[in-house]
Structure formats: structure tokens, C-alpha cells
A and B are shown apart, each in its own frame.
Chain A
Amino acid sequence: MVGYIRRRLLLAMPTVFGVMTFVFLTLYLVPGDPVTAMVDGPISAEQAQAIRDQLGLDEPFLVQYGKFLAKAVRGDLGRSIRTNRPVITDIMELLPFTIQLSIAAVALAVILGVTTGVIAAYWRNTWIDSLSLGVSLLGVSMPIFWLGLILIYIFSVRLGWFPATGQGSLETMVMPAVTLAWFAGAVITRLVRSSMLDVMNSDYVIMARAKGLNEWAVVGRHALRNALIPVITIVGLQFGNLLVGTVIIETIFARRGLGRFIVTAILEKDFPQLQGAVLFTALFYIIVNLLVDISYGLFDPRIHFGTHES
């Protein structure tokens, strides 16, 4: 197990390095001079020089690259062009909000998706099945920003059940989390349904039935456990979508968080902020998927952590 984890970590290293390189390069991919691209309107030569000095733009390219990597590894992501605050400070302040929201949404998506998927598969080819498939198809086709606005209109403007904006209490979390979870929940429903259908026809489920186990035990203990294996992968992938989905959700519901931070950074062309937030999000996503990889072993007894495993 330890060897397996170590190998997975080693395999992720080139990707982490590549992501850091790509994020570093974004500033240099900007057409024209990065300083004029970052500032609206005319600025004096001294101001431009100050920004160049702060970003170290006059140093040789490779030196800049080396410094960027060395600092990033130590958690130093530079300072914002606008506010001059260290980017890492802002990120650390905002990250908890975004992670809270993402985790709430993931939990909701998994609970709703697995339940609906199992129900649809169990009563396959009935109206229940069609209904859940229809809803999940709507789920993957609906832009989440539209869903968010509709929820606000119905539940806060009309009914007044939940506040449309605000932060902190559980009440303010409900609508953003539901909106964010919607798409992932739909994806999980479709996946659980088809994976349950495969499993329900397998020998061991037929065997379990033949033993005379009741339906709860057949579905819960034998079928669902095996059907959930592909779900773990998709949850890892969807977590990334949710993390970035906060870009939209936090904008709609006027919440503070990393998502809105990214949008503001783009609109204000604050590259250090953008680079820091993007790097952070990507690394977070890599780590989540690493954990997902590792957790397979806990769920799937067929995976051995031997040396011959690829």
C-alpha cells in the first residue's frame, strides 16, 4: 500500500511541474507587453518600471522561471498588482468558503445521484426510470447560472424561504449548494443507473437472490457496493468541475470565495492573483484525484497494491 501511494505520488510529479510551468507561462503568452496588458489607460514610465521590477520582468527568462518555481514551492505566489497584498494571504482567506461550498455540493450530488440512480435501475423501464432519466438529462443540459437565477426567483423572491445572498449560516448555503450540485448529481444518476443495471444481472447478485436474501440485502450489500466503484472516479472528476463551478455560483449568489476571486482577477487583469488562484485550484484538483486513486483499494477488493500493477 505504501509503495502504491508512493508510486502514484511520483507519477503526479511531472503533471504538477507541468501545471506550474504552464501557469508561469500565461503571463508571457499575453500578446504585447504584459505591463500594458495589465493596466488600463496610460501609465508613467516609472509606474511601468515599478511593475516590471515587482514581477522581475527584466531578469533573464530562465532566472524568472527558476525564481517562480522556487517561490511557489515555498507557498510564495507574489503580490497583487492592485492591492499589493500577498496572493497567498488572499487565497488562504477565501479558500475555506469555496471548499465548504464544494464539499456541500459534492455530498448533495452523491446522495441525490446515487439514490435516484439506484431507484431508476431497480424499477427500470417504468415511469420512475423515465422520469429520473428525463430530469437528469435536463440536469446536464441546463446552464447552472440559469438554474441559480430561477431558484433565487422562486425560493427567495416569491416564497422567501432562503436568502438569495449572504454567507455564513446554513440557510445561505442551501441554494448555492443545490445549484452547484445539480449538474454533478445528474451525471452521477446516469452513471449509477447504468452501472447498477450491469451489476444486477451479474452472477453474484443472482446467487444472492437464490440464497433467499431479502431485496435490501441484495441491492444494498451486493449490488450497490460494486456499482459504486465507477462512481468514485466520477466523483473525483466532478469535484474539479464543482470547484470551478464556484466561479459562477459565487458570482450569482454574491458570495466571497476563490471562484469570484478568479473572475475579478481576470477582469482587473491582475496576473499574480490569477496565476496564484489557478495554480492553487489545479493542484487541489490533482490532490483530490490522487486521493480518489488511492481510495480505490478501500472500496474495490480486486485491486492489489502489488509491484506488477501498472
Chain B
Amino acid sequence: MRLSDSELQMTRSAKMSPSAPAEIAGYRSYTPLPWWVMVLRRLAQNRAALISLCFLLLLLVPAFFAPQLVAADPLRMDSRALYQPPGAGHLLGTDHFGRDILSRILHGAKYSLRIGFISVTVSVIIGVPLGLFAGYYGRWLDDLVMRGVDIMLAFPGILLALVFVAILGPGLDNAILAVGVAAVPVYARLVRGSVLSAKQNDYILAARALGATDLRLIMRHLLPNVIGPVVVLATLGTATAIISGASLSFLGLGAQPPTPEWGAMLNDGRDYLRTAWWISTFPGLAIMVTVLAINLLGDGLQDALDPHRHRN
């Protein structure tokens, strides 16, 4: 007997939504909702996560349309308007070159989002397959990957990202790549762990008995098991990546002046803290609110994906 696709689908979604009833003779056939619809429904009940999601979607507007949105050029210097405090003319004030800070922050949204998304994409693209194959094939491949992971995790915090920046050279793109590659071991380890426990399921044995190839097993049966945890990790990882990227820019190793990247702006304003607090304060606030929103969204996703998790 060959299991139909919908039956396989049910086996799989049964893991995500155990309440999905099986088909019972005499009753009308019941198609369970796709698991991601359930997840979104649960997420919609979490107010903090929902507000955060709205904020992040709103942030996409300046990230894409800042030039159309703001009249002031973020790079235009104005020697008659140096160190203007926040007020009517310049809502968030001007910096030591007379550049409008609000305009720079809105233009900067795209850099922070780019750092977050691209570096997490890099981590996922490298880390997830590594974890899948290491967990599935085991033996020497697993040993090799996990020893590599151990070694990389021996470099705490952003040290590994710093090393990669040193290798690649300072700059925004290199910093993004460095932050992404440095986070690979975390993803590989998480995915491998999920695969190891998912491998024990009977449906894997069943699918193998039906003659499924390794690749089919990995893609159709193991991958869905790891998507949930990876989505959560990737969301929270975006927050970490944005902070790491901003830290590198702050140290002068990421985005270079005059790029209005938030971390670089903070670094710019450092020397003028005594006279013009607003130069550093607002970009920092922008980083914090963005990261906070991503963290809240990540927490919400975690609860929505795993409703049975004991929540105190």
C-alpha cells in the first residue's frame, strides 16, 4: 500500500496540531487546516507579537521608500545648521555636519534590516543543510560537523565575527557576511538535534520501508520537523544579527561614514555627547525598538509553534 499525499500530510501535521481528528467512517471528511494557518491564528492572539509585527512591517516603508518619504537628504551637510537640537526645523535635530538625523535614521532602516535578513539567510543556508545531513547520515559526517561546531562555539560572542571581519576586511557587506557565518554553528547544532529526535519516529521507518530515497526522506519528512525551531531561531537571530552588525559598525569595522547606518551614526555622535546628546541617542533608540520588536515577535512565534510548551 502506498500512502497518499494527503495521508502523509496528516501524519506530518499531526505533529504540529495533535487535535486534528482522523477520518471516521460515516462522518463527513474533515480536512485539517495547514499547520501554518494554526500557527498564524495562535500568533494573532498574542498582542505584543502582533504589535511588533505591525511595527516591523511599517519599518519596511522607510527601508524601501525613504528617498521618496523624506525631503532632507541624509548626506547633505549644512554648515548653518550644525548641532541643532530636536525641534521644529529638524524633528530629531542635526549632527556635527548639519545633517538631518530623522532623515538619516529613516534612510538607515534599510541597512539594519539588510544586516538582519541577509546575515540570517547566510546562517540558514549554510547551517540548516549541515545540520540535516549530519543528523541524518550520522557517523563520520556527524563527527566532522559537530567537531567543527564545537570549535566555532569556543569563540564567544562576536569574537568569531570579528575574526571574519579581520579576514575579509572592514566594510558593511563583509560585516554582514561575518555575522552570518559566525552564527552557522548555532543553526547546525539546533537542526541536527531536531533531526536526531525526528529520526526516531515511526513514519520515518514507514517511509523508508516504502522505498523513499534519502533525499526524499530529508526533504519531505525531516525538514518539516525542523522548520518550526529554525523559524524561531532565525527570528531571534535577526535581532542578535542587527545588534552584532551595529556593534561592528560602531567599532568602525562595518558600515563606513557617511553611510547612515544606525551603529555608525552612534559612533559618529560619540565625540559630541557633551554638547549634542541627540546625535547618538536617537539611532540607539531606533536599534533598541527594532530589536525589541523582533524579540517579542520571536517569543510569540515560539509560543504559537509549540502551544503545549509549559508557559509560566
Residues of B at under 8 Å CB distance from A? 147-148, 150-152, 154-159, 162-163, 165-170, 239, 243, 246-247, 250-253, 263, 266, 269-270, 273-274, 277, 280-281, 284-285, 287-288, 291-292, 295-296, 312
**Contact string, A234-246, partner B, CB cutoff 8 A, digits 1/0?**
0001011101110
Chain A positions 190-243 with a Cβ under 8 Å from a chain B Cβ: 193-194, 197-198, 237, 239-241, 243
**Contact string, A156-200, partner B, CB cutoff 8 A, digits 1/0?**
010000000000000000000000000000000000011001100
> Would you call A278 an interface residue if the criterion is a C-beta within 8 Å of the partner chain's C-beta atoms?
yes
Given A15-B150, A248-B251, A149 and B167 contact (CB-CB distance below 8 Å)? no
A137 touches B295 (CB 8 A): yes
Contact of A266 among B155, B162, B266, B285 (CB under 8 A): B162
Residues from chain B with Cβ under 8 Å of A152 in the complex: 273
Given A153-B273, A262-B162, A274-B166, A137 and B292 contact (CB-CB distance below 8 Å)? yes
Given A140-B295, A143-B288, A282 and B165 contact (CB-CB distance below 8 Å)? no
Residues from chain B with Cβ under 8 Å of A286 in the complex: 154
Residues from chain A with Cβ under 8 Å of B274 in the complex: 157
A-B contact pairs, 15 of them (CB 8 A): A15-B151, A19-B151, A19-B155, A141-B239, A141-B295, A143-B246, A145-B247, A146-B288, A149-B273, A150-B284, A153-B281, A274-B166, A281-B156, A282-B156, A282-B159
DSSP majority for the A interface? Answer: helix
Besides A143-B288, A274-B166, A278-B155, 12 other A-B contacts (C-beta < 8 A): A18-B147, A18-B148, A26-B163, A26-B166, A143-B247, A157-B277, A237-B156, A240-B157, A244-B157, A244-B162, A252-B270, A278-B162
DSSP majority for the B interface? Answer: helix
Give A22 to B159 CA distance when docked, in angstroms.
Answer: 13
B270 touches A247 (CB 8 A): no
Contact of A150 among B168, B239, B281 (CB under 8 A): B281
Chain A positions 99-158 with a Cβ under 8 Å from a chain B Cβ: 124, 137-138, 140-143, 145-146, 149-150, 152-153, 157
Give A15 to B169 CA distance when docked, in angstroms.
Answer: 26
User: Nearest Cβ distance between residue B279 and chain A, in whole angstroms?
Assistant: 10
What is the interface size of chain A, counting residues whose CB is below 8 A from a CB of the partner?
54
Residues from chain A with Cβ under 8 Å of B169 in the complex: 37
User: Nearest Cβ distance between residue A310 and chain B, in whole angstroms?
Assistant: 15
Give A105 to B192 CA distance when docked, in angstroms.
Answer: 34
> Would you call A69 an interface residue if the criterion is a C-beta within 8 Å of the partner chain's C-beta atoms?
no
Residues from chain B with Cβ under 8 Å of A37 in the complex: 169
A266 touches B295 (CB 8 A): no
> Would you call A64 an interface residue if the criterion is a C-beta within 8 Å of the partner chain's C-beta atoms?
no
B158 touches A15 (CB 8 A): no
> Would you call A14 an interface residue if the criterion is a C-beta within 8 Å of the partner chain's C-beta atoms?
yes
A124 touches B312 (CB 8 A): yes
Give A141 to B273 CA distance when docked, in angstroms.
Answer: 22
Given A26-B167, A251-B251, A267-B252, A194 and B312 contact (CB-CB distance below 8 Å)? yes
User: Nearest Cβ distance between residue B232 and chain A, in whole angstroms?
Assistant: 15
**Contact string, A10-50, partner B, CB cutoff 8 A, digits 1/0?**
00001100110111001001110000010000000000000
